Structure 1
Amino acid sequence: MKLFVISDTHGNIDQAVEIYKKLKDIDLIIHLGDYGKDAKNLENRLGVSVLSVKGNMDGAFSQDGYRILDTVFGKIFLAHGHMENVKQNLQTLLYKAESMGCKAAFFGHTHVPLFEDVEGMYLLNPGSLTLPTGGRKGSYAVVTLSEEGIEAFIGYEEIQQKRKTEYGFLSNLLNQSDRF
């Protein structure tokens, strides 16, 4: 099974569409939040299914902020990450994923790409294609799952168009916090 994983598109899916068109044999697109409507827009533009979770900018709370994906590799915990406080540390994310019998956890929110094995739990954050942090290029992930294991590739792209986002106080508060 091959996945195209993105997060934190914040209303701009053009680059995700272009990258998807270049990829081969993608079985599923996963959007890890901020903005939920971007997943629907991707479905409409590409004519493919997109599995998504809501992020902090979508007003997600505990029960609607995560999903479990059953795969040939095993269960994967999908979350945006704000409810798991991923900007502080990854302990809550690890605990939740492990307590639900998952072998991997995919998350967003930090806008920083990551693929790491933490004591047998695989953590993946595709970063952000449209609003990367720390002077990075935009990023996404392509994940290949099999009964034998998981492989991930983090891809980097120049941002096609810099979009100045004018956030107000409340939007900044929501986007920069993990929980309210």
Structure 2
Amino acid sequence: MRICVVSDTHRFRHELMQAVSLAGPINAVLHAGDETSDAAWLADRIHCPVHAVAGNWDTRSTVYPDSLVVTGYGPPLFLTHGHRLQVKNTLLPLAKTAHSHGASIAVFGHTHIALAEEVDSVLCINPGSLSQPRGRKERTFAILTIRTEADAFEVSVTHLTSSGKVLPDTTRSVSIPRFE
């Protein structure tokens, strides 16, 4: 499975479509908030599911809740913007919330900083921002690749710039045990 992960697009739709194109063949898009209208716009233009949540700039709704658990691509994924979980200060509440929902991967936005790190046995992924990056000048997104093995999910995260350059400093690979 290949999933394109974006956040904080803030109506930079050209960059959003560029990211999806650069991601290559994908099974889904995860949009971690701040401009749900971009997620709706994208869903009308591509031929795979777009899962999205409301950010602090958005109005939450039944279509775009504060958070959701995405299944069907490997291990359950907890998707949220993160502004209600203090992600600018610490990732521990995010990891604990993901774990409480049975997820070992948490995708979030809000900070506009590209990262992938394990916190309390949860892989926390922020794709950065396609509109206003922080911590670097390049606009970024991520590709989440999940391979199903006999006893584990092999998960890798690769961050790219909106021009397609790989950011090796944020690349992570983990093995997540399968529980069936």
Question: How would you bin the TM-score normalised by the shorter chain?
Answer: 0.7 to 0.9
What is the 5 A alignment of 1:48-63? Answer: 48-60=48-60
- What is the Cα deviation at residue 71 of structure 1? 3.6
Aligned-pair RMSD on alpha carbons? 1.9
Asked whether 1:156 is paired with 2:157, we answer no
Name stretches of at least 5 consecutive residues in structure 2 with no aligned partner.
164-180
Per the alignment, residue 34 of structure 1 pairs with 34
The C-alpha deviation readout for 1:3-60, integer Å capped at 9, x for no partner, is 0000000111111212322332200011110011100111123344311011010134
Greater Cα offset, 49-58 or 132-141: 132-141
Q: Which runs of 4+ in 1 moved over 3 A?
A: none
State percent identity of aligned pairs. 31
Higher helix proportion (structure 1 or 2)? 1
Per the alignment, residue 166 of structure 2 pairs with none
Name stretches of at least 5 consecutive residues in structure 1 with no aligned partner.
159-180
What is the 5 A alignment of 1:113-124? Answer: 113-124=114-125
Q: Is the contact between residue 35 and residue 58 of structure 2 (CA under 8 Å) also seen in structure 1?
A: yes
CA distance in 2: counterparts of 1:39 and 1:72, whole angstroms: 19
TM-score after normalising by structure 1 = 0.80
CA distance in 2: counterparts of 1:64 and 1:18, whole angstroms: 26
- What is the Cα deviation at residue 135 of structure 1? 4.2
The C-alpha deviation readout for 1:73-117, integer Å capped at 9, x for no partner, is 311100000111111211211110111111110000000001112
Relative to 1, partners in 2 of residues 1:120 and 1:149: Cα closer, same or farther, differing over 3 Å? farther
The C-alpha deviation readout for 1:108-155, integer Å capped at 9, x for no partner, is 000000111224210100000111124421000000112332101000
Per the alignment, residue 12 of structure 2 pairs with 12
Higher strand proportion (structure 1 or 2)? 2
